[in-house]
Structure 1
Amino acid sequence: MENKAFFGILGVPMENYQGLVEKLIDEGYLKTPDIIRAFQHVGRAGFLPDEKKEDAAVNAPLPIGYGQTISQPLTVAFMIELLQPKKGDHIFDVGYGSGWQTALLSTLVGPGGRIVAIERVRPVADFGRHNVEVFGCTNVTFVVGDGTRGYKKNAPYDKIIVAAGAEQIPKALLEQLTVPGRLVIPVGRHEHDMVKIDRKGKKDFSEERFPGFQFVPLIPSEWGSE
């Protein structure tokens, strides 16, 4: 579905969101042409609760219920730029929440790629899945379960992105990366470093850290994945 129609249904002016995208470009958070086009195509309002849609162009995290949030656009841009999704990639999206980031990734990998999106909180998972399906994405597999364990059924993954803060990097996520492969994950106890990990060999990993982020915690589930 094209942006104009999508936003017309919701009654949210497209130019407000496009102004936010331009600001992220001007400030250097959005750099890669394909990623810029994805942000221009996938508006934020369609992934928010009705009472928050008018805030879609606000560069801040917003609540989506059950203690969860849709991330700040600046942060989503920063993480996706670190991840560098490519056409045809197989990506594991941990903590998909509202589904906005999932739709961005779906657009970036194209019809030849695949997104496996996992969410722990069932009502949030249902909300996000509905949003992604309404937007028209057809290359996404949705899972309800514990993202800290990865999802072996569809592994390995070219790239993994995590939208919740982990106290330490889950071993399962590293093991489920391809070689080469990349993981982007916030790590820390209260404030988080954004960590980019590149897998170069079976046991060969390199790491780069970017401080100054804050996320809801990545919480293991007591049950498996559905």
Structure 2
Amino acid sequence: MALLIDSLIEEGWLKTPKIIEAFRKIKRVDFLPKGMENLAELNEALPIGCGQTISQPLVVAFMIEQLQPQPGEKILDIGSGSGWTTALLAEIVGDKGKVIAMEIIPELKKFGEKNVAKYNFIKRGQVQFICTDGSKGYEKEAPFDGILVSASIQQAEVPRTWKEQLKIGGRIVTPIGSSIWLLTKKSEKNFEEIEYPGFAFVPLITS
């Protein structure tokens, strides 16, 4: 993984020291299905079962750089899948922060939970897994400092529940179609929006 991380730094996808450190500590190989370990260094999305993928490292790096999570923050990770992004976020927010991982597919929720457990984040209370529809957010733990979505929403608008469950100053990073959008909450009703086109994602499954 070291060579891949170095190339992501050289190409400008990874920039922030705390995020780079998390990528070096949290090994992608620990989040792949058995028999796929030799593919961990590939800079591409890989199948993890149930029609879902572990995202391309370049895309994960870009999205976390846009989210800019900070130590002590509470992050909602929607479409947590393999748990790799969840663990990266947990490493960044640290022991005073928290990550709520939402996965609608029960088998993948168990798979991600098992993978993240290798790093003791769950035991320490830094990560909580929820098996439900992520499009509704998670009111019980709101408000969040950041919301990261790893599957593409198919409607033109970000769900109102996500916007409502975000703190003022917080960020949402989500795919919409084939673009990644960064939304920053300036006030209760005002969001700054930036679009980054040219990406590909599996669709977000809703109930």
Aligned pairs, how many? 202
Q: Pick the aligned partner of 2:58 from 74, 83, 87.
A: 74
SS in 2 for 1:207: strand
Question: Could you tell me which amino acid in structure 2 is paired with residue 81 of structure 1?
Answer: E
Q: Deviations over 1:69-99 (max 9, x none)?
A: 0000000000000000000010000000000
Q: Pick the aligned partner of 1:120 from 90, 104, 129.
A: 104
Q: Pick the aligned partner of 2:113 from 116, 129, 136.
A: 129
5+ residue gaps, structure 1: 1-16, 222-226
Question: Could you tell me which amino acid in structure 1 is paired with residue 165 of structure 2?
Answer: Q
Between the aligned partners of 1:117 and 1:185, the Cα distance in structure 2 is 15
Alignment match, 1:99: 83
Equivalences for residues 1-226 of structure 1 within 5 A:
17-137=1-121, 138=124, 139-168=126-155, 169-188=158-177, 192-221=178-207
SS in 2 for 1:213: coil
Q: Deviations over 1:21-73 (max 9, x none)?
A: 00000000000011011101111000000111110000000000000100000
Between the aligned partners of 1:78 and 1:170, the Cα distance in structure 2 is 22
Between the aligned partners of 1:107 and 1:96, the Cα distance in structure 2 is 15
Task: With the length of structure 2 as denominator, give the TM-score of the two structures.
Answer: 0.96
Identity of aligned residues (%): 48
Between the aligned partners of 1:180 and 1:83, the Cα distance in structure 2 is 11
SS in 2 for 1:196: strand
Offset of residue 135 of structure 1:
2.1
5+ residue gaps, structure 2: none
Alignment match, 1:8: none
Between the aligned partners of 2:169 and 2:3, the Cα distance in structure 1 is 36
SS in 2 for 1:51: coil
Offset of residue 19 of structure 1:
0.5
SS in 2 for 1:77: helix
Between the aligned partners of 2:53 and 2:9, the Cα distance in structure 1 is 23
Rg comparison, structure with higher value: 1
Between the aligned partners of 1:71 and 1:103, the Cα distance in structure 2 is 14
Task: With the length of structure 1 as denominator, give the TM-score of the two structures.
Answer: 0.88
